[in-house]
Amino acid sequence: MLKNYLKIAFKVLLRRKFFTFVSLFGISFTLVVLMVATAMLDHLFAPLPPEVNQDRTVSITRASMFGDRSSWSASAGYRLLDQYVRNLPGAERTSFFKSPDQVYSYPNGNKVRVFLKRTDGEFWRILRFDFIEGAPYTADDLESARLVAVITRTTRERLRLGQTAMGRTIEVDGQRFRVVGVVEDVPRLRVIPFAEMWAPYTTVKSDSYKAELLGEFNAIVLARDRAAIPGMQEELKSRLARAELPDPKSYKKLVAPLESTFDAMARTDLRTEDSHSERLWLMMAGGALLFMLLPTVNLINLNVSRIMERASEIGVRKAFGASSRTLVGQFIVENLVLTMVGGVVGFAASILVLRAISASGVVPYADFRLNYRIFLYGIALAVFFGVFSGVYPAWRMSRLNPVQALKGAAR
């Protein structure tokens, strides 16, 4: 039975080549856009080395002080982290690091801009970077404020350091660093690990950072397990609530949310308890559905046309005993064949498009790829799309009166 459906499906699709082509074009184009968008979102949020333990890592990227008439937002300051974020219950490792600065180096009269991130030693033990040379600096280096640095492969190239940079000295931001390690490039959109060069934060030129409650620091905390995270968040909140603020007349409350990257991006107001990350999910899903609207209407139109064109065939089948269910089943098989073929074409096209986007350098160091997860999303989308665009036409078909269908007036 299925074999017959498939045989008819292929014959029909091949007979009306133009229709089939247009339907395939619509399906594969829609899938390409959705899959490329999904791949980019996956790149932003899904676990990707060096962020290997993303499910049990939370971070502080912003902090705020609120008063009656004013508010002040920035990243966390070193003092906030040092005083309140150390030794949280359930924390396996804690790391503090500065937001990257854009600094300049002038090798041989050329100007090279480098994103420099100053971190502690624990940074390298929470995030697993891919070292192609040497090793990271340690807590000891941090204590001694040694001018050592880790750079990326591309930075090594741009600074003309040749095949091996180990032990070489580079002058960046007016300071001379000794290279102790070289790592693979890190995608720009992975905010937590990203930089083009790393050095201990004690090498910063002035000590002023130590006194700041709000400043330029971030923190990541690797929890022992996921279950420990809510406890950590509560503890931090209560510690901050008891904090002594420098200007209590202007600012009464200090907040610094400890949460995942996704939640941090979904959060619009630092004061609320919950980041309402469902809102971000809903927006993304809503956006996808909105985009699919026009292609779906297009496909529905094509499907209805397809059915009306075969009205007399449908009439014949009904006259010889096909129930509406059987016919709808055949139609759905045809639609699914179309959708699956469109899906395959869409996949192939997505791979090419993603490669083109990665190569274009619009997003530096990006390597957008399809993985099995996105593949599954893609299949789900294709099926959803095929069903959605097939429901109404199938319903129309099942309501066809055999007599009228035979006359070809399938209204």
Spatial CA neighbour of 9 closest among 296, 306, 298, 297:
306
Half-sphere exposure in the Cβ direction for 134 (13 Å, CA): 22
- Name residues contacting other proteins, limited to 357-386 (CB under 8 A): 362
Q: Is 319 in the site for other proteins (CB under 8 A)?
A: yes
d(CA 109, CA 129): 31
Q: Which residues of 373-390 are buried (b: 16+ CB within 10 A; e: fewer)?
A: ebeebbeebbeebbeebb
Per CB under 8 A, the list member of 158, 298, 344, 369 interacting with other proteins is 298
Q: Is 300 in the site for other proteins (CB under 8 A)?
A: yes
By three-state DSSP, how is residue 301 classified?
Answer: helix
Stretch that binds other proteins, among 128-136, 225-233, 275-283, 395-403 (CB under 8 A): 395-403
d(CA 82, CA 80): 6
Q: Is 169 in the site for other proteins (CB under 8 A)?
A: no
Q: Is 403 in the site for other proteins (CB under 8 A)?
A: yes
Residues 220-259 vs other proteins: string with x where CB under 8 A?
--------------------------xx------------
Stretch that binds other proteins, among 10-18, 182-190, 278-286, 338-346 (CB under 8 A): 10-18
Per CB under 8 A, the list member of 54, 99, 154, 305 interacting with other proteins is 305
Q: Is the dihedral of CA 402, 405, 410, 411 positive or negative?
A: negative
- Name residues contacting other proteins, limited to 112-151 (CB under 8 A): none
Stretch that binds other proteins, among 14-22, 133-141, 186-194, 337-345 (CB under 8 A): 14-22
Q: Which residues of 128-144 are buried (b: 16+ CB within 10 A; e: fewer)?
A: ebeeebbebbbeebbee
Per CB under 8 A, the list member of 283, 294, 352, 359 interacting with other proteins is 294
Query: How many of the other CB atoms lie within 10 Å of CB of 325?
Result: 9
Residue tagged 């905390």 (tokens): 221
> 135 vs 294, which CB is nearer to other proteins?
294
- Least separation, in Å, of the C-beta of 174 and other proteins? 4
Q: Is 88 in the site for other proteins (CB under 8 A)?
A: no
Stretch that binds other proteins, among 99-107, 125-133, 145-153, 189-197 (CB under 8 A): 99-107
DSSP code per residue over 40-94: HHHHHHS-BTTBTTGGGEEEE--EEEE-SS-EEEEEE-HHHIIIIITT-TTEEEE
> 52 vs 363, which CB is nearer to other proteins?
363
Residue 113 sits at φ, ψ, to 5 deg, of -95, 135
Q: Is 29 in the site for other proteins (CB under 8 A)?
A: yes
- Least separation, in Å, of the C-beta of 230 and other proteins? 32
Residue 225 sits at φ, ψ, to 5 deg, of -155, 170
How many residues contact other proteins, by CB under 8 A? Answer: 70
Q: Is 82 in the site for other proteins (CB under 8 A)?
A: no
Per CB under 8 A, the list member of 185, 313, 351, 369 interacting with other proteins is 313
DSSP code per residue over 92-130: EEEEEEEPPEEEEE-GGG--EEEEEEEE-STHHHHS---
Half-sphere exposure in the Cβ direction for 152 (13 Å, CA): 20
For strands 112-119 and 197-200, give the pairing: parallel
- Name residues contacting other proteins, limited to 187-206 (CB under 8 A): 205-206
Reading the block at residue 167, the tokens are 């032990």
- Name residues contacting other proteins, limited to 171-190 (CB under 8 A): 173-174
Stretch that binds other proteins, among 183-191, 226-234, 277-285, 300-308 (CB under 8 A): 300-308
> 258 vs 381, which CB is nearer to other proteins?
381
Residue tagged 């001018």 (tokens): 147
Q: Is 4 in the site for other proteins (CB under 8 A)?
A: yes
> 22 vs 189, which CB is nearer to other proteins?
22
Q: Which amino acid is at 90?
A: G
Per CB under 8 A, the list member of 164, 238, 268, 301 interacting with other proteins is 301
Residues that bind other proteins (CB under 8 A): 1, 3-4, 8, 11-12, 15, 18-19, 21-22, 25-26, 29, 33, 69, 101-104, 106, 109-111, 173-174, 205-206, 208-209, 211-213, 246-247, 293-295, 297-302, 304-306, 308-309, 312-313, 315-326, 362, 401-403, 406, 408, 411
